[in-house]
A and B are shown apart, each in its own frame.
Chain A
Amino acid sequence: MSNPANSPPSSSARKRLMLMMRPRATKANALAALLALLLGFAVATQIRQNQSQGLESLRQSDLLNILDDTTLKSSRLDQNVRELQTTRDQLVSGTTSGAAAVTAAQERLDVLGILAGTARAHGPGIRMTITDPGGKVTYPVLLDAIQELRDAGAEAIQVNNVRIVASSHFGPRASGIEVDGRSINQPYTIAAIGDPATMSSAMEIPGGLAENVRQLGATIIIAQEKELTVGALHPLTEPRYARPVPPSAATTP
């Protein structure tokens, strides 16, 4: 059998194999067939079992390894979650604080725009019309009127089509009055936004503007209005000399 060069044993072996192939009805052969059937069944079953294997058939050490792996992975993922949550929180608070900053800046812009005369303003107020046929109403009278209105709480003032701001100045001109370098003609119309009752009573007090104007021979009409628009704008000019002081710097007395 261990002699490969010997051909007769091999051919006889094949003959024997052929002989065995013939069905023989012996008890032992039947038993062998049964065992072979069992073997085939077991092989197929085991293969199926192995393919659909879950954790239940694993040994303790394998289960421990899997558990360790899973725990490690889970803690890593937990850390990931924490980091991402932190990033998300930062982003969310960043956007909300950014939005709040934008809102605050917009409010500030509105307030400053009304103060500086770069924004149109509307609201309740009074409208005064001064008609002066004799030409007696001079610029100090108008300056007084503006001063009185401010005293009474006017927040936005317009004379004819000139917006009155902090730097506004009045002066004489041949054909009337000059405000901020612009000539204004009669009738002088002053629109002021503020509390209408307070401002009109301030105009009408004895010795106040209305009485002065009437003494000069001019007529004045004061009308309280619920809704008034101060539409004239003051052109914004860059200050040539004044510079803002940094907030942290010490203030010079």
Chain B
Amino acid sequence: MIPALGLLIGLAAGIFLHPTVPLALQPYLPIAVIAALDAVFGGVRAVLDGIFNDKVFVVSFLSNVVVAAFIVFLGDQLGVGSQLSTGVVVVLGIRIFSNVASIRRHVFRA
């Protein structure tokens, strides 16, 4: 409940405060957002599976974000940043889809 409220408040703040992304963070923010979304969907799935743990959620969220940003950073340093970003997005997208499928089975029993 509180995290959901936090998400809404964060969205509203982002919309109304017009923040600008620092130049150094610009390549990493989209990937970090995708990774965080993956963590959130994983958390919801864990809740439905009955194995949710607050600590695990926080750690997985942070590690997802950091690892995704690090992979993109590494890719940029190696000169394959765009390809690696695509790879990360694909992998995270697949994970999000499988998590959502699991959530769907729980909620709709289908």
Contacts and interface: CB of A to CB of B under 8 A. Distances in A.
Contacts of B32: 42
Given A13-B50, A41-B11, A35 B33 contact: no
Residue in B6, B18, B30 with the greatest tally of chain A CB atoms within 10 Å: B6
Contact of B62 (A2, A10, A35, A36): A35
A interface majority secondary structure: helix
B61 to A, nearest CB: 5
A10 B36 CA distance: 26
Given A29-B2, A33-B5, A44 B13 contact: yes
B9 A37 contact: yes
A20 B54 CA distance: 11
20 contacts: A10-B107, A16-B47, A16-B48, A17-B48, A28-B57, A32-B2, A32-B43, A34-B6, A36-B6, A36-B10, A37-B7, A37-B9, A40-B6, A42-B10, A42-B29, A42-B36, A47-B14, A48-B15, A50-B30, A56-B23
A24 B32 CA distance: 27
Interface in B1-27: 1-15, 18-21, 23, 26-27
Contacts of B47: 16-17, 20
Interface in B67-110: 81-82, 102, 105-107, 109-110
B58 A36 contact: no
A46 B1 CA distance: 24
A12 B50 contact: yes
Contacts of A33: 2-3, 5-6
A41 to B, nearest CB: 4
Contacts, number: 143
A134 to B, nearest CB: 118
A20 B52 contact: yes
A35 B13 contact: no
B29 A1 contact: no
A17 to B, nearest CB: 6
A10 B48 CA distance: 8
A49 interface: yes
B14 A44 contact: yes
B23 A36 contact: no
A166 interface: no
Residue in B20, B47, B48, B82 with the greatest tally of chain A CB atoms within 10 Å: B48
A30 interface: yes
Interface in A53-85: 56-57, 59, 61
B66 interface: no
A50 B55 CA distance: 32
Contacts of A28: 54-55, 57-58
A4 to B, nearest CB: 5
A41 B29 CA distance: 11
A4 B110 contact: yes
A38 interface: yes
A108 interface: no
Contacts of B61: 32, 35, 39
Contacts of A2: 102, 105
A215 interface: no
B49 A13 contact: yes
A43 B14 contact: yes
B26 to A, nearest CB: 5
Nearest to A39: B36
B1 to A, nearest CB: 5
